[in-house]
Amino acid sequence: MSLTIKEIRVIVCCPGRNFVTLKIITNEGVYGLGDATLNGRELAVASYLEDHVIPCLIGRDPHQIEDIWQFLYRGAYWRRGPVTMSAIAAVDTALWDIKAKTSGLPLYQLLGGKSRTGVMVYGHANGRDIDEAVEEVGRYIEMGYQAVRAQCGVPGLPSTYGVSADKLFYEPADADLPSENVWSTSRYLDHVPKLFEKLRQVHGWDVHLLHDVHHRLTPIEAARLGQSLEPSRLFWLEDTIPAENQEGFRIIRQHTTTPLAVGEVFNTVWDCKNLIEEQLIDYIRATVVHAGGITHLRRIADLAALYHVRTGCHGATDLSPVCMGAALNFDLWVPNFGIQEYMRHAEITD
């Protein structure tokens, strides 16, 4: 009897966070798991899977991964959006999981084998002020991290992105309605270089330092920030401007040599094609769950490799451990690997 898809379940659960997990079960009892979590729009993906995807897959051969991917992508006239691509990603990842189990090999072996013996990840350090952030970066270094993202409060602002009371276990996005913050570009631009100057003074040059702007600047403001951070030699400066403003990256590139990273909100290779081909970025942040699964993320990485752009996959706690497991297998294989974001899950969400 040939292997077929017998049953598919959509599982929505997690305290304070709607993780969406897809479980594909075969007629022989072998099952695969895929992550379909889309922070803030989780139930839209769950509904899309239940109503539009699952009915199309029952009885199909789970080993026909490419054919199923193309069917789900091309069969939907309204495609390429985050809901559609997260749903496709969940199916794709679950099918790769089944193939790995039935072949008795880890996913990275099916992709072509290891390109490295380990994966460099970066943690998230934050503080209410510079001194506290410097101390938190030191804690990560003591834990063995070679790379740390650093964020800190800005004087005069009641709250700042990436800063929370619980340093090791903070949620990067809200589980319910979006939060509102007071913002001052001038104060931010003046303060951030001071943070990284202090970090280099205290922790030296053996640790990679990263920073996330969270799409808050204009191109010329981002260029100014990148230029002012050049003496601190950041590993990357992330999400400087809204990702859809791709013309703006040309302006930034013309004014600074600080490496640029973007892409966690991208869903297809078409979203990042121009940025990669024009070498306007150094790291592509697309991730398994939001970029169509292993099958499509591989296409993005292959394109990036042609232009010396490395991967730096999104890996915050708004993605489930299922996604992280798939991402780490991908990271072990992908030739043009750069780094992997890794946020520790709190006990309640682990």
- Domain spans of the chain, in order of start: 5-104, 121-341
Is a pLDDT exceeding 60 seen at residue 147?
A: yes
- Terminal Cα-to-Cα distance of the chain (whole angstroms): 38
CA-CA distances (angstroms) from residue 218 to 136, 249, 251, 283? 29, 10, 10, 20
Average of per-residue pLDDT across 132-142? 98
Helices (H) and strands (E) in the chain, counts: 12, 11
pLDDT of the residue at 345: 77
pLDDT of the residue at 65: 99
**121-341: what fold?**
TIM Barrel (3.20.20)
Q: How confident is the model at residue 15 (pLDDT cuts 50, 70, 90)?
A: low
Is a pLDDT exceeding 70 seen at residue 171?
A: no
Is a pLDDT exceeding 60 seen at residue 300?
A: yes
Report the distance separating Cα 234 and Cα 227, nearest Å.
11
Is a pLDDT exceeding 70 seen at residue 135?
A: yes
* Residue pair 252/223 in contact by the 8 Å Cβ criterion: yes
pLDDT of the residue at 167: 58
Structure confidence by residue, pLDDT tens digits, 315-348: 998 899 999 999 999 999 999 999 999 998 777 6
> For the chain, what's the residue count?
350
Q: Tell me the CATH class for 5-104.
A: alpha beta
Q: Which of the 8 DSSP states describes residue 118?
A: -
Angle formed at CA 341 by CA 126 and CA 290, multiple of 5 degrees = 120
Per the structure block, which two tokens stand in for 254? 């013309």
pLDDT of the residue at 140: 98
In sequence order, which residues have a C-beta less than 8 Å from that of residue 34 and are 6 or more positions away?
21, 22, 24, 89, 90, 91, 92, 93, 94, 95, 97, 293, 322, 326
Q: Per 3-state DSSP, what percentage of the chain is helix, strand, and coil (rounded to 5)?
A: 40, 15, 45
pLDDT of the residue at 161: 72
Report the distance separating Cα 46 and Cα 20, nearest Å.
7
Q: How confident is the model at residue 93 (pLDDT cuts 50, 70, 90)?
A: very high
Per the structure block, which two tokens stand in for 170? 């903070």
Is a pLDDT exceeding 90 seen at residue 85?
A: yes
The pTM for the full model equals 0.94
pLDDT averaged over every residue in the chain: 94
Structure confidence by residue, pLDDT tens digits, 248-288: 999 999 999 999 999 999 999 999 999 999 999 999 999 99
Is a pLDDT exceeding 70 seen at residue 176?
A: no
Per the structure block, which two tokens stand in for 84? 């559609």
* Residue pair 185/217 in contact by the 8 Å Cβ criterion: yes
51: exposed, middle or buried (C-beta count within 10 Å: 0-12, 13-18, 19+)?
A: exposed
Q: How confident is the model at residue 111 (pLDDT cuts 50, 70, 90)?
A: very high
Q: How confident is the model at residue 7 (pLDDT cuts 50, 70, 90)?
A: very high
pLDDT of the residue at 307: 99
Q: How confident is the model at residue 238 (pLDDT cuts 50, 70, 90)?
A: very high
Is a pLDDT exceeding 80 seen at residue 38?
A: yes
Which positions are catalytic? 161, 214
* Residue pair 126/151 in contact by the 8 Å Cβ criterion: yes
Q: Which of the 8 DSSP states describes residue 231?
A: G
* Residue pair 62/98 in contact by the 8 Å Cβ criterion: yes
Q: What percent of the chain has pLDDT over 70?
A: 93
pLDDT of the residue at 169: 56
Is a pLDDT exceeding 70 seen at residue 16?
A: no
Average of per-residue pLDDT across 62-75? 97
pLDDT of the residue at 159: 76
* Phi-psi domain of 63 (left: phi exceeds 0; alpha: psi -120 through 50; beta: other): alpha
Is a pLDDT exceeding 90 seen at residue 165?
A: no
pLDDT of the residue at 346: 72
